[in-house]
Amino acid sequence: MTTLEDDLQSFVKAQKIQGKGPLAVMLVVNEHARKKGAVLKADDLLTEQGGQVLGLGKAQVQAILNRNGIQRVLAEEGGRTSRGSIANMRAYVAFLAMQNGKRGIVDLKAAEAFWIGEVKKFFAGKPFLMKLDASWGVRTSVRHLMAQAIARQKDIKGTKFLGTMMQHLVGAKLDVVLGKGKLQHHSANQSDQRPDRHGDFDLEDVAIHVSTAPSEALIRKCDQNLGKGKRPIIITTTDGTPTAEGLLRNAGLTERVDIIEFEQFIATNVFEIGRFNQDGRRETFRKIIEAYNAIVGSAETDPSLRIEMTSGK
C-alpha cells in the first residue's frame, strides 16, 4: 500500500497544486479537518454567499505557518482571490475522505507537515529580485538583494543562500570587468582546500576569499596564501568586516591582507563601468545579473538562486 506522502504527491500532480493560492487552500482545509475531527463536507466549507472557501484568509494561513516556524507571508489575501480555490477545496475534501476510507483515519499532522514542505519549496523556488529604483543608492539595491537571501535562510534552516549569492555575484562582477573565461567558477559547496585552489577565485597572484562570517580558519588560509606568494583579499559583509580586521590583528596579518566590504565591491564598479549615469548603472547591473545567472546555471543545482531584475520598490 502506498504511503500518505506518496498519495499526497500524486494529488499535487493530478490537481496541479502550485502557487501560493492553492497551497493556502490546502493548509486551511487541512486545518478544518484537524479541528472538526471528522469527515468534511465540501458544502460546509463555503462562506454564506458561497463564493469563497470558509476561513480562507491571511490571518488563518499565517497562523498555520507561524506555528511551523515560517514567518514569511504566503499570500496577502490568503488565497481568497485565487482562481479555482473552491474546486481545489472540493478536491482535497474528496481526497481526505478517500484517505480515511483507505487508512481508517488519515494522519492530519503528517498531512500538514507535507503541505508545509510544499510551502518551503514554493518560497525556495522563487528567484531573488534585484529591485532598481531611481531614488535608491546602488548599495541599497545590493543590500535589498542580500536581505532576501538572509530571509530565505531563516525560513529554510541549514541553508547558506547569502554566502552562495555573494560568491557568485563577486564572480559575475569579475566576469564583467575582466571578460568571460578569465577565471574559473565553482559551486559554493565545493571546498577550496585542494592544492590547485588558493581561494574562491584565483587571479594572477591574488587569492580572493568571499565570506559572510570570517573565521580563524579563513585567516589561516590567508596565511597559507602568503606563504605561497599569493596576495589574499577577503570580501565580506558590513558586519563581517570588523570581525575580519580583529582576526587579522590577532594573527599579525593586518598589513598583509586586504578586506573589501561586499556592497562596496559591487557598487564601485557599477558606478565606474556605468560611467556615473543612471542608464549606465542599470545596464551594468543587467550585465552582472546575466553573468550571475549563467554561473548559477552551470555551477549550482538550485534554480531558486537565480536573480530577476525589476523596477520600483
- Domain holding 246: CATH number? 3.40.1350
pLDDT at 312 over 60: no
Cβ neighbours for 103, distance < 8 A, ≥ 6 positions apart:
4
> Which residues constitute the domain of residue 110?
4-125
Mean pLDDT of 108-132: 90
Mean pLDDT of 45-72: 89
| Run of H or E including 132 | strand 128-132
> What is the end-to-end Cα distance of the chain in Å, rounded?
51
Total domains in the chain come to 2
| Run of H or E including 276 | none
The single-letter DSSP state of residue 203 is: E
- The reply to whether 87 and 103 lie within a common domain is yes
Q: Which amino acid is at 182?
A: K
- The reply to whether 59 and 40 lie within a common domain is yes
pLDDT at 157 over 70: no
- The reply to whether 66 and 189 lie within a common domain is no
Summary mean pLDDT of the chain: 89
- pLDDT band, residue 3 (cuts 50/70/90): very high
Residue 284 to residue 272: CA distance in whole angstroms: 9
Output the pLDDT for position 63.
95
- The reply to whether 90 and 178 lie within a common domain is no
- The reply to whether 300 and 226 lie within a common domain is yes
- The reply to whether 83 and 146 lie within a common domain is no
Q: Answer yes or no: are the C-beta atoms of 142 and 263 closer than 8 Å.
A: yes
pLDDT at 158 over 80: no
Mean pLDDT of 195-218: 92
- The reply to whether 24 and 78 lie within a common domain is yes
Output the pLDDT for position 195.
62
Give the pLDDT confidence of 70-118 residue by residue, as tens digits. 988 887 666 565 568 899 999 999 999 999 999 888 999 999 999 999 9
- pLDDT band, residue 211 (cuts 50/70/90): very high
Output the pLDDT for position 188.
84
Output the pLDDT for position 84.
83
Give the pLDDT confidence of 237-286 residue by residue, as tens digits. 999 999 999 999 999 999 999 999 999 999 998 998 888 988 899 999 99
Exposure of 225 in the CB half-sphere (CA atoms within 13 A): 30
User: ∠ CA 253-163-295 to the nearest 5 degrees?
Assistant: 110
Q: Answer yes or no: are the C-beta atoms of 126 and 152 closer than 8 Å.
A: no
Q: Are strands 307-311 and 128-132 parallel, antiparallel or unpaired?
A: parallel
pLDDT at 13 over 70: yes
Mean pLDDT of 140-156: 88
Q: For the sheet with 206-211, list strands across it.
A: 201-203, 206-211, 231-236, 258-261
Which domain-ending residue is among 125, 141, 162? 125
- The reply to whether 90 and 150 lie within a common domain is no
Which domain-ending residue is among 97, 125, 153? 125
Supply the pTM of this predicted model. Answer: 0.67
